[in-house]
Chain A
Amino acid sequence: MSALDSKCPSGPIAERWEKHRFELKLVNPANKRKFHVLVVGTGLAGASAAASLAELGYRVTVVCIQDSPRRAHSIAAQGGINAAKNYPNDGDSIQRLFYDTVKGGDFRARESNVYRLAQVSNHIIDQCVALGVPFAREYGGTLSNRSFGGAQVSRTFYARGQTGQQLLLGAYSALMRQVGLGRVRLLARREMLDVVVVDGVARGIVCRNLASGAYERYAGDAVLLCTGGYGNAFYLSTNAKACNVTAAWRAHKKGAYFANPCFTQIHPTCIPVSGAYQSKLTLMSESLRNDGRVWVPKRANDPRPPAEIPAEERDYFLERRYPSFGNLVPRDVASRAAKERCDAGFGVGETRLAVYLDFRDAIERDGADTIRQKYGNLFQMYAKITGEDPYLLPMRIYPAVHYTMGGLWVDYNLESTLPGLFVLGEANFSDHGANRLGASALMQGLADGFFIVPYTIAGHLAGRKLARVSEEAPAFEEAERAVRARTEQLLAIGGTRTADSFHRRLGRTLWDHCGMARNASGLARAKAEVRTLRAEFWEDLRLPGSGAGLNQTLEHAGRVADFLEFAELMIDDAAHRGESCGGHFREESQTPDGEAQRDDARFSYVAAWEHPPQGGDSILHKEPLTFEHVKPSQRSYQ
């Protein structure tokens, strides 16, 4: 059997999930309490999984890095969540959501997984409504929908501009109910630093208690990693500051393959960088492209303020290049189009690295009040950060790193190549291929946690003989010894440069050579730079204080150390994939119009990388992708 058995069921695609669920083993109700599941992370995937598993009767321990599970970064998602409800009667269906997602991902996702995602999408909306998520409603009381990029139907459910917050608080409330009932043990301010493997199966984790500095061991029968994406490898991204690759990377080093690490999403509508002190970038929701029109002046370096540029001297470049999707093309397409205009000298603002997102026409058409109702909090956020009023001046936006489609490889059961280790949400690689459509991340996180892993975990728990393991077992001793040693090593370097300065340099290298556009020589240069930087890090890091008690600089240094290792894999993956697809744009592989040119003959596969056990280069494994239901074509949004 191949090391990469996706375990996808066969048969008609619409029946596969049902068939698979029937074939999966069950754990009988009385036995569920004998199993202990460890959940790492409390975003949409982690919170919904922990709550659902506890409801089923499993004993659950949850750890999160923040002071409260309610602060996980799912909370910052703005625009919405997709589902194939077809409430607007505009032609949507499970088949269409499936089709749009496979196509939007540029044919680099598994058909079976994506179809299942579309199937469970409707249950997610029902569940969230029942949990009290205050979705937007019509006056008659029915749920509202709006449109999002990459689709020609309105299938996005939303709660003002803070859908992620409301969904996360819904999942958090379900989790906290189980905590109150004593079925979930909640441990906040814990950072998972290693997975413990016993007899080839993931049986525990080692954490550092971030408040006390103590190392803690937790043994269980399965480990669920729900630890989000690695966009902060780029330093500047829309991710929260605590987002990191550490849990995924440590699991990778223990045997979980890392899939498609070069698939990163650059979101087109973010507030541009304003200075060298910049600590993060802020997204402006894609929903704004429903009413905002993206443009630059037709004349390069036009010095006039936007209001003085008449309509005929404006280049609405998305509408020009993509008349049928207009401003609602997928994110990768919109980002590259903005970069192309700026590179050609048409950018606006002080840095010339920005394009306008203009609401003038929408405000004239619908009135400022209507626009305020739809996007009020986004406009307010923009005004706070930039000091400009978007009701009067067009927003200035530029692409920024936002989401990572790559992640730990998982099979149809969401189980990684390390048995017993399941990976959910953004942390896994599944479903979005090489580009994620807007409003699909929330859908996937909740699908994995509410409706997939509660079934598939039984296959592991009931299907394998799991002997009791003790937290005193040698594997735990060894794992704790190793993470302690690493912390001590970091503290002992005694150099001159801060972790933040290394992180910024790493981010710059990745953005320049492994960002919106990549080429072979740039990637080779980036790899050399990352290696040099990593060597310098371990020689010249300055880290004050000790490992006892709260030490935020130590936490950051550990994460930067992992980013420095991971970055090389990201670059290797980008270098080996000599085609363009979705967010991965290789300059060597483009159509005459400058669109991403896939090479299905050579690259229609998932690249899953194995950590070399004895050092040396990462080992590439390929999971071939076959498309029986959506015929791969050159993506066109014209």
Chain B
Amino acid sequence: MSHDPHSHAPERMRITLKVWRQAGPEQPGRMETYRLDDVSPHMSFLEMLDVLNERLLAQGADPVAFEHDCREGICGACSLMIDGQAHGPQALTTACQVHMRHYADGDTIHVEPWRANAFPIVKDLVVDRSAFDRIIAAGGFISTPTGAAPDGNALPIPKPVADQAMDAAACIGCGACVAACPNASAMLFVGAKIAHLGLLPQGEGERERRALAMVQAMDAEGFGNCTNHFECMAACPKGISVETIARMNREFLRAATRERPATIELGGA
């Protein structure tokens, strides 16, 4: 099409990659340098890594391990620190949706894994984020067994409330918030789930238990605290607001000052 806005972009770019390589959890890591001469501006960032890996394979070298799956910004698997920014330079964009047209011929790009004590490295750019699953298992749910639900319209939920819950529910669990935070805090992730479920009338019954249990699990996993840098919100590909952290703090305080359910033992929150 003659309207192609990228017709000005060069057909092939030269890119230098500096990539974190680490053979396993206990092995030392290092930055390795790779040069690619044939990067198309239409490629996604991950497709560029595919090209690098095909080349490494051709040389008999070990390809770079990185996490990816849907490649359309929704599964939350991809997890790259690109030039020190979680998911790279574009706002509201996962690494898999970054395209090379945003880089210039001759650029050097640093690629590292998420760094946080609670996300130990598995290999190269792959980290273990199962801490997030354990936090959800502690309280990130509404306890309605299958078959026990009333009619979907039995409980009207005003559109603004449903919309606000949806804003928080959009979290993809990628961990960019943790990676971007100087304290490696998971409060945006936890706050988003507490806000999503706490805003809905269905979630009312477990409001206190949920806040206490999820915060306790979060602390037990070794995530840091929030000191209001708001880097998490800047890095979040889904635009989750730090207001959810404020809501989490309110919910926690409210729950902690009320009579506690007997099953909850408070941790170091």
- Contacts from A to B (Cβ < 8 Å): 48, 51-52, 55, 66-71, 73, 75-76, 85, 87, 123, 125-132, 134-143, 159-160, 162, 164-166, 169, 172-174, 176-177, 179-180, 186, 188, 211, 240-242, 274-275, 277-280, 282-283, 303, 305-306, 348-350, 380-381, 384-385, 387-388, 393, 396, 450-451, 454, 498, 500-501, 542, 544-545, 549-550, 552-553
Contact = CB atoms under 8 A, between A and B. Distances in A.
Contacts of B63: 544, 552-553
Contacts of B126: 67, 550
Q: When A and B form their complex, which 3 residue pairs have the shortest distance between CB atoms, in order from nearest? A: A141-B156, A180-B137, A130-B149
B162 interface: yes
A240 B70 contact: yes
B152 interface: yes
Nearest to B158: A141
Given A51-B146, A126-B149, A160 B166 contact: yes
A132 B200 contact: yes
Contacts of A282: 71-72
B69 A141 contact: no
A141 B170 CA distance: 20
Interface residues of B, number: 86
A176 B141 contact: yes
Contacts of A131: 141-142, 144, 149, 202
A226 to B, nearest CB: 15
7 contacts: A140-B158, A141-B156, A160-B166, A169-B169, A242-B69, A348-B1, A393-B3
A240 B46 CA distance: 13
B200 A136 contact: no
Contacts of B75: 66, 71, 73, 75-76, 240
Contact of B136 (A85, A141, A160, A173): A173
B99 interface: yes
Interface stretch (B47-55, B177-185, B224-232): B47-55
Given A142-B153, A179-B137, A275-B42, A303 B54 contact: no
Interface in B49-93: 50-51, 53-54, 57-58, 60-63, 65, 67-77, 90, 92-93
A134 B162 contact: yes
Contact of B122 (A143, A211, A348): A211
Contact of B2 (A242, A280, A305, A384): A305
Nearest to A129: B152
A214 B168 CA distance: 38
B147 interface: yes
A130 B57 contact: no
B142 A132 contact: yes
Interface stretch (B104-112, B127-135, B254-262): B127-135
B99 A550 contact: no
Contacts of A552: 63, 65
B268 interface: no
Nearest to A169: B169
Given A67-B129, A127-B146, A130-B148, A137 B72 contact: no
A44 B260 CA distance: 34
A478 B67 CA distance: 32
A70 B173 contact: yes
Contact of A70 (B76, B138, B159, B165): B76
Contacts of A128: 152
Nearest to A542: B57
A173 B1 contact: no
Nearest to A389: B5
Contact of B71 (A143, A241, A450): A241
A274 B99 CA distance: 12
Given A71-B75, A73-B69, A143-B153, 9 more contacts: A55-B145, A55-B146, A131-B144, A132-B141, A159-B169, A174-B144, A241-B68, A348-B1, A396-B1
A544 B60 contact: yes
B17 to A, nearest CB: 15
A385 B69 contact: no
Contact of A550 (B61, B69, B122, B151): B122
A142 B153 CA distance: 6
A420 B23 CA distance: 40
Contact of B140 (A68, A140, A173, A454): A173
Contacts of A549: 23-24, 123
B249 to A, nearest CB: 21
B44 interface: yes
B99 A384 contact: yes
A544 B62 CA distance: 6
Nearest to B197: A132
A68 B2 contact: no
Contacts of B117: none
B126 to A, nearest CB: 7
Contacts of A75: 70, 74-75
A544 B40 CA distance: 26
Contacts of A132: 141-142, 165, 169, 196-197, 200, 202-203
Contacts of B47: 277-279
B28 interface: no
B5 A387 contact: yes
A550 B93 CA distance: 27
Contacts of A136: 162
A381 B57 contact: no
Nearest to B167: A134
Contact of B149 (A85, A123, A135): A123
Nearest to A380: B92
Given A51-B146, A127-B144, A129-B149, A277 B50 contact: yes
A284 B66 CA distance: 26
B152 A68 contact: no
Given A134-B162, A135-B162, A176 B123 contact: no
B101 interface: yes
B68 to A, nearest CB: 6
Contacts of A142: 153, 156
A52 B153 contact: no
B210 to A, nearest CB: 11
Nearest to B64: A552
Contacts of B76: 68, 70-71
A303 B142 contact: no
Nearest to A354: B1
A166 B171 CA distance: 10
Contact of A545 (B3, B40, B62): B62
B253 interface: no
Contacts of B197: 132
Contacts of B148: 130
A159 B169 CA distance: 10
Given A126-B150, A130-B144, A139 B158 contact: yes
B158 A274 contact: no
Given A137-B158, A143-B153, A241-B69, A172 B50 contact: no
A593 B4 CA distance: 35
A409 to B, nearest CB: 26
Contact of B133 (A70, A127, A138, A211): A70
B143 interface: yes
B44 A279 contact: yes
Contacts of B170: 162, 165
- Of A71, A127, A306, the most chain B CB neighbours within 10 A belong to A71
Nearest to A279: B47
A162 B74 contact: yes
B69 A381 contact: no
Nearest to B51: A277
Contact of A138 (B122, B139, B159): B159
Nearest to B123: A550
Contacts of A162: 74, 170
A179 B151 CA distance: 27
A137 B159 contact: yes
Contacts of B140: 173, 176
A141 B159 contact: yes
Contacts of B5: 387-388
Nearest to B60: A544
